[in-house]
Structure 1
Amino acid sequence: MSQRRIMAYLVELDLLGPADQEVTLYFSDIPVRPFPSTDPDRPNQRYDNRLLEAPSMSLDIFADASRLAGNLGVGRLTLSNADGALNQYRGWAFRTVRVWWGEPAQRSFAAFRPFLAGRAETPTWAISASQPSRLVVPVYDARLDLERDIQETTFAGTNVGPDGYEGGPDDLRNRVKPLALGDLVTANIPLVWVNGPAQVGQVHDGEIEELSGLYDRGADANLIEDGDESGVDFDDAEPDAGHLVTDLGRGLVKVNQDFGGDVTVGVKGAVDLVPAAGYLDTVPPQIRALILRRNPEASIGTSFTALTATETAKAGLYIPDRMAVRQAVQLFAAGLPGWVLPDPLGTWQIGKLRLPSGTADRIIRPVDVISITPGDRQVSIPCWKVTVRGERYYRTHTRQSLAESLWDTEDEARLREEWREAVAEDTALRDRWWPNVREVVVDTALRDPADMQLVADLLFDVMSVRPDETPWEEYLVTLEMDEEWLDLVATPGLGKAHVQLIYPPDGIDRLMIVMGAAPGRPAGHQITLRVWG
């Protein structure tokens, strides 16, 4: 066990100098002898004992519909600069931080396990007349990649008469071009007229799989399709009255029709949102594509492949305005329901909520516990009602904007509502626990009410009460860190790893799921787990 061993952190920090010179600095938190000349990975490598705080990362997912996205906390690298030896690197670009953890007595770099990897941010040179100087290097949070807009391309507003698909200076100029992702066949999307005189509309900035329908004030316009053209052939096409022609490669449609009001469409959306992706209409592949669209060099974990094979619910999202990638990812992930986070090595992972079941992967006994405290109190407040919203209509109609042929029909009622809803509830539970109960509403990108109901049922199970009718509980447990705990956090991973928490002083003996982990915290040789069950 690691209690009987001396463990060390090794840090490698890559820098780039003003003359593009590349340098890697090597640090440790305790004195470590150089690796032998025969070491295949780091022969003769010395590590400077000036590491005061190794960066770490805390990962958290939640059995709570209001926080499905999860949470990530990134630490910082703190180095002693009391002797001023690091001052020569002022003005250099700090590039990458890599951290390993292991037992120096083994005298092999391979005995150290990768602990964290990330981009370094702008350092802080802590200078004080009364204390030794320090260098503090924040580690980049990969989630910041998702704070940027999905779509940054805007209409130029440069049309001249019937020529061009960039809108005019007074209508579309500087407005972002729309994106249509996934299954939007029933989404009633407003058609953006990119050239009014030529009656050309656009539904997506790029290639789409299919134009599924075109509607006038909610009713089928019954136009005759003249096929799909591209490039000049589409530009020169002149459909007869009551006809349309598409250019799926550019997400365009050209019509010849006098409409009575708002024109909307249904589509199967983006093809190749990222290169070679093809048409995607389920949750995990669309999240993967969104991450790679924002950062083509992002590392994608095998958890995406595993969930893609099992999660086949149809999902779609129409984006007519500016939207951060994070917001889109959350709408898709809520349709699992699940979470999306980068792991400590910077690889993006995805997971689905589940109930505790089966046997424990590891037992936590009283002798193992350094400290234990209650977690989030919100977890223990039973949820009596979960409403999952999906199958969104992006243009709704009142009677004033609806085709008269649809008045007093089921379609009129359907087109009046923006969202379809699936509900899981228990009024008896509400009455038993009142007023200490809650209800939640979750928006998703799902398109099938049956899939929405499955999500509502699962969320209700993890947010109401346990099978024995007692509230769910959460604990923060600090333990001595060892390889087995790090392995368990990595595989099967958060949201899957089970522990049996036995703590007789507080009457606790139950199977719980590891929902969060902070390796190296609160002290470098410890790990804090957040367990739920």
Structure 2
Amino acid sequence: MTEPTAWIAEIGITRPNGTAETLFVTDTPIRPFPHNDPDRPNVVYRSRLAGPPSYSVGTHADLSRLAGDVGAGQLELLNGDGAVSYLSGCAIGTVHVRMGREGQYWREWSAVLTVRAEPPQPTLSARSAGKVTLPLYDLRASLDSDIVTRTYGGGNVGAVGYDGTPDAGKGDTVPLCIGRPLNVPGKAVNTVSRTWQIDDGPIGSAGTLYDRGDLANLTLVGTSTPAAFDAVALTATQYARDLSRGLVKLGGAIGGDLSMDPVGRTDAGETAATAIRWALTKRGAGSIGDTLASWAPSATIGAWWPGAVRYRELVDLMARSEGAAVLPDALGRWQVARLDVPSAPIDSIGEGQILDIGVDDQDLAVPVWQVTVKGRRNHLVLDRSRIAGALYDTDREVWLKEEWRKAVAKAEWVKARWGDDARAVEVDTALTHQSDMEALAARLLTLFGPRPDGTPRRSLFVVVPLTAARLGWQLGRTLHLSYPREGIADDMLLLGMQPAAPSRHLMRLRFFG
């Protein structure tokens, strides 16, 4: 098939009475699917689509900062007869869009989108045909909800309970601990029993305990069950922990701020990949795709949030820590796109296939001369008045006063050649080892800096015929782009895609490299 002959959409809806159903629509009249179709036997698609959806998806909103993005667009339904006006009172769920031709089985139609829709927007007019517009967002929009929903109820009675009090902690969100964060203060959940919470648990370890940044020198008293932890009697130089609930209890007062180097949730692992898979599985939006399932980076990460945090914040932070993007494909499966210097192209686009070409993001064409990767975060920054006196004028004091450690990669010759136009970029990560930060900084400098021959990298868009094969290209992969009249014969990263643009038989692709 060289061009699509029809577009179909399946729109999940829930009526006001709670009945769930699917609306099957097409932009071109087609016969029902065959009776022997294994997936959609005899299903009828009504001619209601005003055309293919307008929709654009990319790996990043800001590539230089590795800032995440959300694919967005809209789908229009014809409503001149008012037949779909009822959608205004319905909750809209997942929308699946495919393209193909009449006579094919449903599974032979090419998947284009699996997205979520916002509430319908009807067009009301006495002088023109009505439409109902569905705003569309890819599944990354479903990550804009809180990971932890439990809050403290303030129900402590003296030394009993770990729920805060009406005056201290009530209504606060329980903290979240992932990987191996450094110098975490925890959340004081009972000041009478001197108990702190790191996470709802189970966690791997409370780690080393610090008093004002120095070793607390407390002795651990083992407790085998939550009940034993609740009842344990501690001396002033002892502490206990309940890993199943992420709790730490001290036997006596210490000199100042308590902090720890914990090992976080046991089900979330200690790498960006395991943390992302945990978060996406917990959220339950889409499924884990093959590239994300097999992704196994070795760098250790660590992050701690004292209160509410959204799934998207966690996923974006972890993806940045590996110089990658995590996004859903056309079937709603989460995939990973690790950004690196373009190599090993999966396909090519020649001059004869290009109907239009131009600069996509002029800022990206200006070379980067310096990359700063921030990591090894100190989650409890202290000034000298809160630091143990034994640490004064030591490296540890310096460490405690700064929130981030930095790894900086530079290309001074780029700064000398491009002057003030040369860019410097900075990326926040959850990395916990300096060597991993340095490796990421060097990789990003190579990616965003000039090519090996000294020429600036390009940020381009091209318009090509829309084909099923091109719809199957995963973002982040390398393609070879050839356009001799502009001296272009380069391997480039595919970073964005807009099907059916600027017309139904074309597509707009975005490249960098």
Whole-angstrom distance in 1 between the partners of 2:132 and 2:504: 19
Aligned counterpart, 2:313? 327
- Aligned in 2, Cα 1:40/1:231: closer, same or farther, shift over 3 Å? closer
Paired residues of 1:124 and 1:135 also in contact (CA < 8 A): yes
The one-letter amino acid paired with 1:313 is A
**Mean alpha-carbon deviation: is it higher for 30-39 or for 325-334?**
30-39
How big is each residue's C-alpha offset from its partner over 1:472-498, in whole Å with a ceiling of 9 and x where there is no partner?
1011101101122123x1xxx2112x3
| Gaps in structure 1 of 5+ consecutive residues | 272-277
How far is the alpha carbon of 1:143 from its aligned partner? Answer: 2.0
SS in 2 for 1:462: helix
Aligned counterpart, 1:388? 373
Aligned counterpart, 2:241? 246
Paired residues of 2:88 and 2:121 also in contact (CA < 8 A): no
Whole-angstrom distance in 1 between the partners of 2:253 and 2:49: 73
How big is each residue's C-alpha offset from its partner over 1:286-327, in whole Å with a ceiling of 9 and x where there is no partner?
01212333x23542212222212xx01000101013332222
The one-letter amino acid paired with 1:82 is G
Q: Does 1:377 align with 2:362?
A: yes
- Aligned in 2, Cα 1:23/1:225: closer, same or farther, shift over 3 Å? closer
Paired residues of 1:55 and 1:74 also in contact (CA < 8 A): no
| Gaps in structure 2 of 5+ consecutive residues | none
**Mean alpha-carbon deviation: is it higher for 200-209 or for 453-462?**
200-209
Aligned counterpart, 2:300? 314
Aligned counterpart, 1:189? 184
Q: Normalising by structure 1, what TM-score?
A: 0.90
Q: Does 1:494 align with 2:475?
A: yes
Residue 415 of structure 1, aligned match among 395, 400, 403: 400
How far is the alpha carbon of 1:236 from its aligned partner? Answer: 1.1
The one-letter amino acid paired with 2:504 is G
Whole-angstrom distance in 2 between the partners of 1:63 and 1:155: 36
Aligned counterpart, 1:509? 489
Count of aligned residue pairs for this structure pair: 513
Residue 110 of structure 2, aligned match among 113, 124, 134: 113
Residue 128 of structure 2, aligned match among 131, 134, 144: 131
How far is the alpha carbon of 1:330 from its aligned partner? Answer: 2.0
Aligned counterpart, 1:291? 280
Q: Does 1:280 align with 2:278?
A: no
Whole-angstrom distance in 2 between the partners of 1:443 and 1:150: 20
How big is each residue's C-alpha offset from its partner over 1:141-178, in whole Å with a ceiling of 9 and x where there is no partner?
42222222233322222222211112222222222222
Whole-angstrom distance in 2 between the partners of 1:322 and 1:346: 26
SS in 2 for 1:54: coil
Aligned counterpart, 2:28? 30
Aligned counterpart, 2:415? 430
How far is the alpha carbon of 1:107 from its aligned partner? Answer: 4.6
Percentage identity across paired residues of the two chains: 36
Whole-angstrom distance in 2 between the partners of 1:324 and 1:476: 32
How big is each residue's C-alpha offset from its partner over 1:156-213, in whole Å with a ceiling of 9 and x where there is no partner?
22222211112222222222222211112xx111143322222222222222111211
How far is the alpha carbon of 1:468 from its aligned partner? Answer: 0.8
Structure 2 counterparts to residues 47-58 of structure 1, below 5 A: 47-55=45-53, 57-58=55-56
Whole-angstrom distance in 2 between the partners of 1:37 and 1:235: 64
Structure 2 counterparts to residues 34-433 of structure 1, below 5 A: 34-55=32-53, 57-62=55-60, 66-87=64-85, 91-104=89-102, 106-184=103-181, 187-271=182-266, 278=267, 280-293=269-282, 295-308=283-296, 311-358=297-344, 360-433=345-418
Whole-angstrom distance in 1 between the partners of 2:307 and 2:426: 23
- Aligned in 2, Cα 1:258/1:110: closer, same or farther, shift over 3 Å? closer
**Mean alpha-carbon deviation: is it higher for 228-237 or for 35-44?**
35-44
Paired residues of 1:63 and 1:463 also in contact (CA < 8 A): no
How far is the alpha carbon of 1:20 from its aligned partner? Answer: 4.5
**Mean alpha-carbon deviation: is it higher for 431-440 or for 25-34?**
25-34
How far is the alpha carbon of 1:503 from its aligned partner? Answer: 1.6
SS in 2 for 1:414: helix
Whole-angstrom distance in 1 between the partners of 2:261 and 2:158: 28
CA RMSD of aligned residues (A): 2.2
The one-letter amino acid paired with 2:281 is L
How far is the alpha carbon of 1:67 from its aligned partner? Answer: 4.1
The one-letter amino acid paired with 2:374 is R
SS in 1 for 2:295: helix
- Aligned in 2, Cα 1:17/1:217: closer, same or farther, shift over 3 Å? closer
- Aligned in 2, Cα 1:40/1:328: closer, same or farther, shift over 3 Å? closer
SS in 1 for 2:148: coil
**Mean alpha-carbon deviation: is it higher for 24-33 or for 245-254?**
24-33
**Mean alpha-carbon deviation: is it higher for 124-133 or for 86-95?**
86-95
The one-letter amino acid paired with 2:294 is A
How big is each residue's C-alpha offset from its partner over 1:386-435, in whole Å with a ceiling of 9 and x where there is no partner?
11110111113333222122223222222222211111002221011012
Q: Does 1:526 align with 2:503?
A: no
SS in 2 for 1:340: strand
How far is the alpha carbon of 1:229 from its aligned partner? Answer: 3.6
Paired residues of 1:103 and 1:112 also in contact (CA < 8 A): yes
Whole-angstrom distance in 1 between the partners of 2:279 and 2:21: 34
Paired residues of 1:69 and 1:340 also in contact (CA < 8 A): no
How far is the alpha carbon of 1:462 from its aligned partner? Answer: 1.0
Paired residues of 1:59 and 1:343 also in contact (CA < 8 A): no
Whole-angstrom distance in 2 between the partners of 1:263 and 1:453: 30
**Mean alpha-carbon deviation: is it higher for 30-39 or for 432-441?**
30-39
- Aligned in 2, Cα 1:246/1:25: closer, same or farther, shift over 3 Å? closer
SS in 2 for 1:72: coil
